[in-house]
């Protein structure tokens, strides 16, 4: 049976662990560097919107050449910042 995208050979995990053991301690990991824990966006908030709200968000994203996720994050961050500023007056 051929392997699909989601199926891996039984020896895959063994090969992966062996490769990581071969990596020297001085060899750096690849990928994005870790952020400060408070700055890393690792939590998830899920919400539902109406078709009209989604169209509005998508239009903003297109106009700003940003992802939908980036637009929603900016809106939330701005709201929280403005709310805190109002509370401190």
CATH number of the structural domain spanning residue 70: 1.10.1220
Lowest average pLDDT, out of 25-29, 61-65, 78-82, goes to 25-29
Question: Please, what's the b/e burial string for 6-21 (b: 16 or more CB within 10 A of its CB; e: otherwise)?
Answer: eeeeeeeeeeeeeeee
pTM score above 0.85? no
> The domain containing residue 78 runs over which residues?
46-89
Across 37-72, b (16+ Cβ under 10 Å) vs e yields eeeeeeeeeeeeeeeeeeeebeeebeeeeeeeeebb
pLDDT score of 78: 94
Domain count, the chain: 1
**How does pLDDT run across 46-78, given as a tens digit for each residue?**
999 999 999 999 999 999 999 999 999 999 999
Residue 17 within any structural domain of the chain: no
pLDDT surpasses 70 at 25: no
Question: What is the mean pLDDT of the segment spanning 72-85?
Answer: 91
């Amino acid at each position: 049976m051929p392997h699909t995208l989601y199926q891996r050979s039984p020896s895959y995990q063994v090969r992966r662990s062996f490769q990581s053991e071969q990596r020297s301690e001085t060899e750096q990991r690849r990928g994005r560097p870790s952020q400060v824990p408070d700055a890393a966006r690792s939590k998830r908030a899920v919400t539902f919107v109406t078709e009209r709200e989604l169209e509005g968000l998508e239009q903003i994203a297109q106009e700003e050449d940003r992802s939908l996720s980036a637009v929603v994050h900016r809106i939330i961050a701005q709201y929280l910042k403005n709310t805190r500023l109002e509370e401190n007056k």
